[in-house]
Amino acid sequence: MTTLTGAFRRRFLGRRSVERTRDVRDADEAVHAPRDDVPAVDIGPNDPLLAYLQSASGAVDVQTLEMQSPALEAMKAAGVKLAVPLVSQGELIGVLNLGPRRSEQDYSTDDRKLLDNLAAQAAPALRVGQLVREQQAEAATRQRFEQELEVAKLIQQNFLPKQLPDLPDWQVAAYYRPAREVGGDFYDVIPISDGRIGFVIGDVTDKGVPAALVMAATRSVLRASAQRLVNPGEVLERVNEHLCPDMPEKMFVTCLYGVLEPTSGRFQFANAGHDLPYVKTATGSEELRARGMPLGLMTGMAYEEKETVLAPGDSLLLHSDGVVEAHNPDGGMFGFPRLKDAVAQYPGGHELIDRVLSDLKQHTGPDAEQEDDITMVTLTRASSSAVRTAAEAPTRQLVEFEVPSAEGNERIALERVSAIVGPLGLDEARLKRLETAVGEATMNAMEHGNKYRADLPVAVRVLTEPDQVRVQIVDQGGESPDHETETPDLEAKLAGLQRPRGWGLFLIKNMVDDAHETTDGSEHVLELIMRTDPAADESHHTQGGVDDHQ
């Protein structure tokens, strides 16, 4: 007896008598651990024996049955005399096969009735066993899949840039958000020895560990090639030649690689089948076109190389298809024209990213599930009229990352923020205070803003100005804030004179120099500010304007 899945496979129980059948002590062992010398027969889905057994009303005399059936011939050759169909809820789920009786007498009418009764009782039990095994197999598959995703996340997170370059007269910003699982998008920033900076954005056509490994390999070869070759087209040619021999079947990489010369604004680029970047100029926005096949498809490919000069005030957007291919409830795409118009209308840098994300949410709806990974990298050159003094330098976003809304993940946020902010000049005591505030704010955002929903991660942004560090904690609890105006007092709270809340808020406000919040009705942003001056006046601590969403 076995299950009916794809090809109908039957494992015979051997030449058993009716008396032996009555004495079966462990039917599961008979099903799952048959003797090694017992032959096996596959009943194919188109074999007429399958339909016959499905419709049979009782035990079938195999030796007298006549039809053109490979499975029937195999059963006869194995010495099977009777085949008893096991049917549960109209579905054939197994067959009980019997050889000749030990007494060498024919099976009697009573024998057949007994076998029919046995089949009627065994079929439901066998079906339950099958369902249990299927559920166990599905659970094991899910567990392996989840473990694979964790490995892929680790690979991907470790290979994304930890810090964006600080270039005089330039603002560099980046945003990355995977979809439901580990994505195929990636970006990178490559310092080149002559002072130029390489920028990469790409997309691997798969998900999970295979995509993460291909992404890691692409990044490694790109970085190595960028140090030895000058022209972006030559770099992509070298990367393609390295990837092709080992690229998994049906996978490839789209990739744009450009090199910025900060002093002149010259941007040389080559494109391996990736979405076209847009540059904002004084007259609007335009596409930067260069032809080339995706990486990993075939060897011997050449990549067209183009260049442009980013004038003061210009900005450049590199992006993945997760932006333009996002759909609204009616199926309409966000589209390239809309993104091009956004580049023309909006300022560059992190403000452009924020506004595009806002437009995207309005297009898809606040509750829409993200369809694909979203990646954006912007390069913005300061206008010639700007006076670049230390006090007037623009805000620069160092990094943005996401933390899944699960207990304990606040540790991930504070450790990453600490690693990013550590080199910026905060003394040890003030850095520890910022870590505490970030951990508390992230935990609050996961619990009260996102309600610990697995599909709602907390976003963390780290921004700098000449005299301060700003950390933004973003959750989806975008309702109007209910401010806690009282200073928490333990005795008053125990006496019931104050609400049992506010401690997290109170702690956050007293750990940093300033804190405030904003909301657009869907996203809630809590911003923590710490001045980089070690002698910062503690009296600047704010005592209001923050809500802990409790």
DSSP annotation of 265: T
Residue 158 and residue 152: Cα distance in Å, rounded?
Answer: 10
Q: What is the pLDDT of residue 25?
A: 33
3-state class (DSSP) for residue 105: coil
The answer to whether residue 483 scores a pLDDT higher than 50 is no
Q: Is CATH 3.10.180.10 the classification given to domain 165-388?
A: no
Residue positions counted in the chain: 550
Q: Are 412 and 459 in contact, with CB atoms under 8 Å apart?
A: no
| pLDDT surpassing 60 at residue 413 | yes
Per-residue pLDDT averaged across 174-191, rounded?
81
Is 204 in contact with 241 (CB distance < 8 Å)? no
Of the pLDDT bands very low, low, confident and very high (cuts 50, 70, 90), residue 123 is confident
Q: What is the pLDDT of residue 137?
A: 86
User: What confidence score (pLDDT) does residue 396 get?
Assistant: 65
Q: Average pLDDT, stretch 304-330?
A: 92
Residue whose C-alpha is closest to residue 107's, from 81, 80, 130, 137:
81
Q: How confident is the model at residue 398 (pLDDT cuts 50, 70, 90)?
A: low
With vertex at residue 255, the alpha carbon angle to CA 249 and CA 260, rounded to the nearest 5 degrees, is 160
Per-residue tokens: 267? 């941007």
Q: CA 224 to CA 398: how far, in whole Å? A: 24
- 379/173 Cα distance (integer angstroms): 7
Measure the CA–CA gap between 182 and 148, rounded to whole angstroms. Answer: 10
CATH of 395-550, one of 3.30.565.10, 3.40.250.10, 3.40.190.10, 3.40.50.2300: 3.30.565.10
With a cut of 90, say whether residue 403 has pLDDT above it: no
Q: Point out the least confidently predicted range of 19-23, 82-86, 355-359, 374-378.
A: 19-23
Q: What is the pLDDT of residue 268?
A: 95
Element (H, E) at 308: strand 305-309
pLDDT digits (tens, 9 = 90+) for 501-511: 445 666 787 88
Residues 101 and 16: their CA atoms lie apart, in Å, by: 7
- Written as one letter, the residue type at 72 is L
Which pLDDT score is estimated for 4? 37
Q: For residue 448, is pLDDT > 50?
A: yes
Rounded CA-CA distance 430/424 in Å is: 12
| Whole-number Å distance between alpha carbons of 208 and 150 | 9
- Name the E strands within 409-467: 458-465
What CA–CA distance (Å, rounded) separates 262 from 378?
14
- Residue 174 to residue 186: CA distance in whole angstroms: 11
pLDDT at residue 533 in the model: 67
Mean of the pLDDT values across residues 23-38? Answer: 38
374-381 and 170-177: which strand pairing?
Answer: antiparallel
- Distance, in Å, from the CA atom of 550 to the CA atom of 524, rounded to the nearest integer, reads 13
Q: pTM for the whole thing?
A: 0.52
Q: Which two tokens stand for residue 160?
A: 């994304």
Span 368-393, mean pLDDT?
Answer: 71
Per-residue pLDDT, 98 = 86
Residue 1: pLDDT band (50, 70, 90) is: very low
pLDDT score recorded for residue 507: 75
**Per-residue model confidence (pLDDT) at position 28:** 36
Q: For the chain, give percent helix, strand, coil, nearest 5.
A: 35, 25, 40
Average pLDDT (136-162) is 76
pLDDT value for 484: 46
Alpha-carbon radius of gyration of the chain? 33
Per-residue model confidence (pLDDT) at position 481: 47
Q: Which CATH number fits domain 8-135: 1.10.1760, 3.40.190, 3.30.450, 3.10.620?
A: 3.30.450
For residue 49, what pLDDT band results from cuts at 50, 70 and 90? confident
Q: Return the number of other C-beta atoms located less than 10 Å from residue 176's C-beta.
A: 24
Is the pLDDT reported for residue 19 higher than 90? Answer: no
Beta strands in 54-169, from DSSP E residues, in sequence order:
60-61, 82-88, 91-98
Residue with tokens 């964790």: 150
CB neighbours of 168 closer than 8 A, spacing ≥ 6?
262, 388
Q: What confidence tier does 82 reach under pLDDT thresholds 50, 70, 90?
A: confident
Q: Beta strands 315-319 and 197-204: pairing type?
A: unpaired
Q: Pairing state of beta strands 253-261 and 197-204?
A: antiparallel
Query: What was the pLDDT predicted at 79?
Result: 86
> According to the model, what pLDDT value does residue 324 have?
92
Separation CA 119–CA 95 (nearest Å): 9
Extended strands (E) in 233-294: 253-261, 266-272, 278-281, 284-287
Q: Are 59 and 115 in contact (CB under 8 A)?
A: yes
Helix, coil or strand: residue 260: strand
Q: Which of 87-101, 250-264, 414-428, 483-497 has the lowest mean pLDDT?
A: 483-497
Beta-bridged to residue 461, according to DSSP, are: 400, 472
Q: Does the pLDDT value for residue 11 go beyond 50?
A: no
- Would you kindly state where each structural domain of the chain is located, as residue ranges? 8-135, 165-388, 395-550
Report the Cα 512 to chain-centroid distance in Å.
Answer: 33
- The DSSP symbol for 390 reads G
Q: What is the structure's pLDDT at 180? A: 61
Q: What is the pLDDT of residue 390?
A: 38
| Euclidean distance between CA atoms 423 and 532, whole angstroms | 11
Residue 40 has a pLDDT of: 63
CA distance 96 to 13: 7
